[in-house]
Structure 1
Amino acid sequence: MPNDLTPPKPTPQKRISCVLTVSRAWRVTPNMIRVTLTGPEIADIPASIAGGHCKILLPAAGQSPADLTRAMAEGPKPTTRTYTIRHARPEACEIDIDFVAHGDNGPASAWAARVQPGDILGFAGPGQPKLTDMTADYYLIAADMSALPVALAGLEALPKDAKGIAIFEVQSAEDRQHINAPAGIAQHWLIHAHPEEQSAQQTDLIQRLTLPDGRIKTLVAGETGVIRALRLHLRGERALPRADVYASGYWRIGLAEDQHQKVKNTEAAEDEAKLAG
């Protein structure tokens, strides 16, 4: 039977802007780097914020914490990118942020590949987690490596009796991660060794799925070309309500983040018009 409970609205999260210090960094898998950041301001961020987005502001070479703090407030604005909080440990004043390791193809990846304990990073946020409604009958979660942090955090926050399917696309079998997910969530790991090339694996699999009756909630994120096709499929052919479909492009093949955001917003408006028509 569909779950008719009205989900509670998320409590607004206090946002902070500060400079954090790297305490450690390591490779979780061959193509994923985890950086642990610390600072007293993290005490105000609840553990439940895992899966929320944040802005990271990259320091210039040799920039001191005071200079980075000043630049964040007054400019010139540091290079800024959007990432996901993978874990938050307010009792230890720590957060983890995962970075896909793709060498110097992007300022954040280049920073993460070279980072050392004691290095600094600007932080602004956090935003709310993307999966806060735990009243659905079934969950569809899909992500490529760029969106693994938000997808895994969402899975780990689900009720233990949750049912659904999670579909992940990673670069190698060694990039699969252990997830503390509910037993009722079926997991599928797909391998796509060349993320710079378009992949249809997730789209094909999701379009073939037989979804159950009841209320379905989605958390789908990754390369924008893939996500756009999935959004149209889920909202159009599957007729899922807009409020139950989180489908967000996190990057676009061949585009930097600033360029991607402009294209993403334009295409999202086009898709909404198409679905409404």
Structure 2
Amino acid sequence: MPNDMTPPKPSAVKRATCMLEVLAARRVTPNMIRVTLTGPEMAAIPASTAGGHCKIMLPAEGQDAAALARQMAEGPKPTTRTYTIRHARPEVCEIDIDFVAHGDNGPASAWAARAKPGDFIGFAGPGAPKLTDHEADYYLIAADMSALPVAAAGLEQLPRDAQGIAIFEVLSEADRQPIDAPAGIEQHWLIHDNAEVESTLATDMIEGLDLPEGRIKTLVAGETGVIRRLRMHLRGDRALPRGDVYASGYWRIGLAEDAHRKVKNIEAADDEAKLAAAS
């Protein structure tokens, strides 16, 4: 059993399905909204789960909290989206979730833009953080704004003597955020101001890196078209072991989450077949 000084392993954290109340909502940057949520169940979500995913269930227009809770229990399934826990503060029963602000272009973004204290939302989670093995010699982190929360949380949990590079792609210079990364992590902020056009900024930069010898672990996430190219590069051209490469598409230009998930699974299987054939 973990003692008071040792964070529980992700697999030991109890998952919760519950209703949460909005404590606050604010713009972290012009294109990122941070919503602070609370509920007694969050006392069991340790700070070390920052970077783990969760499901949020959105109320329908005019739906009260009791009706959403019934729908979560009995169906049909509410509008559900996947997000990252940016911070967890179990001592005060709070979590933060960051939303990319793109107006009404998506139900979660629309909800976050209007969120105010006293509002409510359904919650299920958490999943495990994505960068929990801290035995690498070098870390390669890359994220667009959709994956900035998972990348930032992963960086902040690295050992203070960690070495590596972090490449963030944001919509504007004003969307840069302070991240408490180890001093040995070289940070680069790239500006791509049109999220509806696939970017090559991060892929071009990563393909041109002179990576050091030793064990390299990656946390790479963002738009699926970009991530597929990076996965093939890291696993194929760089020959990094599968277990050391986290490369996940979080969204796809022109697709809602449910449709994106289906396409992503098919493409991921296709990529694995190509990598196996080339090995």
**TM-score of the superposition, structure 1-length normalised?**
0.96
2:213 maps to 1:203: no
Gaps of 5+ in 2: 1-7
Q: Please show how residues 169-180 of structure 1 align to structure 2 within 5 Å.
A: 169-180=169-180
Q: How does 1:223-262 map to 2 (within 5 A)?
A: 223-262=223-262
Deviation by residue 1:161-204 (Cα, 9 ceiling, x = unmatched):
00000000000000000011100000000000101111000000
Q: Aligned residue for 2:166?
A: 166
Q: Distance in 2 between matches of 1:11 and 1:203?
A: 33
After superposition, the Cα gap between the structure-2 partners of 1:9 and 1:124, relative to the gap in structure 1 and judged at 3 Å, is: closer
Partner of 2:5: none
Summarize the alignment of residues 6-155 of structure 1 with structure 2, pairs less than 5 Å apart: 10-155=10-155
Alignment partner of 1:218 is 2:218 = yes
Once the two structures are superposed, residues 223-245 of structure 1 have per-residue CA deviations (whole angstroms, 9 ceiling, x without a partner) of: 00000000000000000000000
Instruction: State the SS of the aligned residue for 1:186.
Output: strand
Q: Distance in 1 between matches of 2:234 and 2:19?
A: 40
Amino acid at match of 2:107: P
Asked if structure 1 preserves the Cα contact closer than 8 Å seen for 2:140 and 2:216, the reply is: yes
Q: Deviations over 1:134-177 (max 9, x none)?
A: 11000000000000000000000000000000000000000000
Q: Structure 1 runs of 4+ off > 4 angstroms?
A: none
SS in 1 for 2:12: coil
Worse-matched range after superposition: 193-202 or 58-67: 58-67
Aligned to 2:3: none
User: How many Å separate the matches in 1 of 2:12 and 2:65?
Assistant: 28
1:22-68 CA-partner distances (Å, limit 9, x unpaired): 00000000000000000000001101000000000001122222211
The equivalent of 1:3 in structure 2 is none
Q: How many residues align?
A: 270
User: Displacement, 1:77?
Assistant: 1.1
- The two structures have a TM-score, normalised by structure 2, of 0.95
In 2, Cα distance between the equivalents of 1:190 and 1:142? 11
